[in-house]
Structure 1
Amino acid sequence: MLHRGQESTDGTGGGELSVPMAWLYAEYIADELLRTGDLMPPTSFEFRAGRDALALTVFLSDTENELSGIRVVTHLETWLSLTAYDQPWHEWVHGRLAEVTADAVAAGRHSPDLELARAAWRWLQDTELLAPDLNAVPGGAPVTGEDEGPKVWTPAWQLGLPLGHLAIHLF
């Protein structure tokens, strides 16, 4: 049974229950951006890939620990630049996760937000989705329908990242 004061949103509530508010808020922002863009059905794996990629971008770009008070419109340009095609997003996420983890270890605090971010990252890296081959050579066999043409297994982050980027543009 929980009593008033036992729950915590910052990991300092005596160890009973720590609510991952920063991650949940980042996930909420990502979900809203994708739903507003209406690019994929919310039940699809592609939507999840976009949501997780965007949530990681939002969560890891919060260097001032102000996520719960964030105004989405003031950060759109940052998120657009981080998710742009020519940016090393994959390496940035890897590096930021390492930094945030090191900070948490150095401070001796347990972070459920960080656990959820790492779980999302593992899913994005380890899961492959069947997607159109954007690198297919033009002039190959004629494509007769929207869902036809060459397809390849693609890491979820490589599919979710451009989807998230487009959702930001459409917001």
Structure 2
Amino acid sequence: MLPESTNGTGGGGEQVVPMAWWSAESMADELLRTGRLVAPGSLEYLAGRQTLALTIYLCDETGALAGARAVARIDEWLSRTSHGHPWPQWVRERLAAREAREPRGGPGPDLLLARRTWRRLESTEVLAADLTAAGRPVEESAQVWTPAWQLGLPLGHLAIHLY
């Protein structure tokens, strides 16, 4: 992703690459593929991957997500994706905090991709089983339109558990 204001280069002439976002997305993809919960390429898979990638990215304060360090964060990812955690509120707060720390030139490519993903997860609705039936078994025939993140969150949580 190339920032418009620098004509494709960073301040020192180098190209700006969203490595933190790509690392988070790659880890999310690995978690979902390993879990084999849904078919890759399906709407459910995309919702799960985007939800997990956003969670992983926002949990990584340093932007230095790497294999061994990433696996050490699994407990935090499980906590953030657990049932009852105010995930959407947490996402909004973390995005705002990241934005406040960005340099004057505007948000970097990682944050731009994260914000775009969050907007997509919020605005895309999918027809799915009603997972909000508190205390009752899920009735799969009772389907409701729900934001994509509400489908992706429990899928992501389960994928983390299976990893």
TM-score class, shorter? 0.7 to 0.9
Q: How does 1:56-71 map to 2 (within 5 A)?
A: 56-68=54-66, 71=69
Residue 53 of structure 1 deviates from its aligned partner by 0.6
- Are positions 1:49 and 2:61 aligned together? no
% identical equivalent positions: 55
Is there any run of 5+ residues in structure 1 with no aligned partner, and where? 1-6
- Counterpart of 1:4 in structure 2 is none
- Are positions 1:33 and 2:25 aligned together? no
Q: Is the 8 A contact 1:131 1:154 kept in 2?
A: yes
Aligned residues: 154
Residue 133 of structure 1 deviates from its aligned partner by 1.8
Residue 66 of structure 1 deviates from its aligned partner by 2.1
Residue 102 of structure 1 deviates from its aligned partner by 1.1
- Counterpart of 1:156 in structure 2 is 148
Give per-residue Cα distances to partners, 1:124-148, cap 9 Å, x unaligned: 0000011012329969xxx8xxxx6
- Counterpart of 2:22 in structure 1 is 24
Partners of 1:59 and 1:48 in 2: how far apart?
Answer: 16
- Counterpart of 2:100 in structure 1 is 102
- Are positions 1:80 and 2:48 aligned together? no
Deviates more, 1:160-169 or 1:68-77: 68-77
Partner SS state of residue 67, structure 1 = coil
Partners of 1:92 and 1:122 in 2: how far apart?
Answer: 14
- Counterpart of 2:161 in structure 1 is 169
- Are positions 1:132 and 2:129 aligned together? yes
Residue 63 of structure 1 deviates from its aligned partner by 1.3
Partners of 1:70 and 1:112 in 2: how far apart?
Answer: 24
After superposition, the CA RMSD in angstroms is 2.4
- The normalised TM-score by structure 2 is 0.85
- Counterpart of 1:92 in structure 2 is 90
Moved over 4 A (4+): 136-139
